[in-house]
Amino acid sequence: MVSGAVFIHGSWWVENTRFMDRRPTFSHLRCRECGREYPKEAIHVCEFDFGPLEAAYDYNAVKEILSREVISQRTRSMWRYRELLPIDGQPSVGLHTGFTPLVRAKRLAERLGVRELYIKNDAVNHPTLSFKDRVVSVALTRARELGMDTVACASTGNLANSVAANAAAAGLRSFVLIPSDLEPSKIVNSLVFGTNVIGIQGAYDQVNRLCSEIAGKYGWGFVNVNLRPYYAEGSKTMGFEIIEQLGWQLPQHTVVCMASGSLLTKVHKAYQEFIKAGLVDATPASIYGAQASGCSPIVTAIKSGTDVVRPVPKPRTIAKSLSIGTPADGYYAIRTMQDTGGTAEDASDAEIIDAIKLLAETEGIFAETAGGVTVACARKLIESGRIPRDESIVLCITGYGLKTQEAITEHVGAPALIQPSLREFEALIEPHTPSTLN
């Protein structure tokens, strides 16, 4: 009986793969504000109200193709959900990206005093150790479909690393524009791929503004400007994976760090799309946003009870990857948190450092500063009772700790130094560990 079922599912998979080739699921772009429809080109804002354009799908077609069985038989990468991604053909960039571990974090759960805690660990995403590999894989696949040969981005670091690496592997020319004061590791992690790195003497928001002017002039594929509708959708795969890895159910609480707020809105969109596609039951799933206190425009709006995001002119925090003073998706992030029963919290630099160490010491996961923000804010949300202790909680860790090691170097101590002698070794450890030989 079981093998019969597997055979039937196998037939379904073959049948539906052929079907997918005939019937596109990605239909058009649509303005999130007014609903006007646009063709699937390299455009990102509505001509009528500047609202962001978003990919729209034929969910009936998706429903006919995707089932839990079809998905589970595919390669373990983010592309196993490709009918819900905005490309026309087959993926061609970042084929090994995604399907990162969802770690049951028992030791951290014990420390935080919660029953069921998971870490979605994009610190080990391929190829550049951050969730940005998801968005870039989609953006560059689409850039190729649109016939572009040059790609670019404005970045706080992680996006630059990913554009540089994926463009190198795809044979595309690339330019990455970054604030010149970024962490040295993030600069090296772009330069090594042979990309054109341009440091801008200004804050990220100024870099972004310059990029939007360049994108209009040169016709390059700027992943977070004119390719944004495609790029942003890549983040959904983090949400799809969480559901599948939880055994096809929604987590009751998800904590996501916020820069522009895009990832948070897309994790929610992923949850909604899997419900629409009949892949998961619609159960309550609250989403919470985390920012560093030194740049927390979205959290400040939530705490003030408004959906008007006041920009932060000069972000000051060790979490540089979240240092976006003018968050483009802030409004939608606020609505998402409010609609799902979630809320937002911010954390100081000291709390971020403590949280990085806590995650590392309990789960063996070294997160970058943005991950420290997520853990620190989750801790505050739990301690204040805003996230219940007896329900399922997922923390989204978005990047690897070696990228921002400067932030914690002075807070992790130094190696003990001894001569190569047993006597010195025993003198060092005996106060802590009695020898079993005695």
- Site for other proteins, rule CB under 8 A: 33, 43-52, 154-156, 158-159, 202, 204-206, 208-209, 211-213, 215-217, 224-225, 228, 231-232, 259-260, 262, 310-311, 313, 321-322, 324, 326-329, 331
**What is the amino acid identity at position 34?**
C
For residue 225, what are its two tokens? 């400007």
- Determine if the peptide bond prior to 127 is cis (ω within 30°): yes
Cβ distance to other proteins smaller for residue 159 or 270: 159
Q: Is 204 exposed, middle or buried (0-12, 13-18, 19+ CB in 10 A)?
A: buried
Pair 223, 136: CB distance under 8 Å: yes
- How far apart, in whole angstroms, are the C-alpha atoms of residue 359 and residue 293? 20
Cβ distance to other proteins smaller for residue 324 or 344: 324
Cβ distance to other proteins smaller for residue 22 or 217: 217
- How far apart, in whole angstroms, are the C-alpha atoms of residue 128 and residue 240? 20
Cβ distance to other proteins smaller for residue 225 or 279: 225
In the complex, what is the shortest distance from the CB of residue 329 to other proteins, in angstroms, rounded to a whole number?
A: 6
- How far apart, in whole angstroms, are the C-alpha atoms of residue 11 and residue 2? 14
Cβ distance to other proteins smaller for residue 283 or 304: 304
Cβ distance to other proteins smaller for residue 251 or 399: 399
- How far apart, in whole angstroms, are the C-alpha atoms of residue 145 and residue 164? 19
In the complex, what is the shortest distance from the CB of residue 134 to other proteins, in angstroms, rounded to a whole number?
A: 14
In the complex, what is the shortest distance from the CB of residue 90 to other proteins, in angstroms, rounded to a whole number?
A: 26
In the complex, what is the shortest distance from the CB of residue 212 to other proteins, in angstroms, rounded to a whole number?
A: 5
**What is the amino acid identity at position 407?**
A
37: left (phi over 0), alpha (psi -120 to 50) or beta: beta
In the complex, what is the shortest distance from the CB of residue 323 to other proteins, in angstroms, rounded to a whole number?
A: 8
SS3 call for 220: coil
In the complex, what is the shortest distance from the CB of residue 156 to other proteins, in angstroms, rounded to a whole number?
A: 4
Half-sphere exposure (Cβ direction) of 194: Cα atoms closer than 13 Å: 8
Cβ distance to other proteins smaller for residue 156 or 362: 156
Cβ distance to other proteins smaller for residue 329 or 354: 329
In the complex, what is the shortest distance from the CB of residue 141 to other proteins, in angstroms, rounded to a whole number?
A: 18
For residue 324, what are its two tokens? 């976006």
Cα torsion angle, 234, 236, 239, 240, sign: negative
In the complex, what is the shortest distance from the CB of residue 300 to other proteins, in angstroms, rounded to a whole number?
A: 14
Nearest-CA neighbor of 26 among 51, 61, 64? Answer: 61
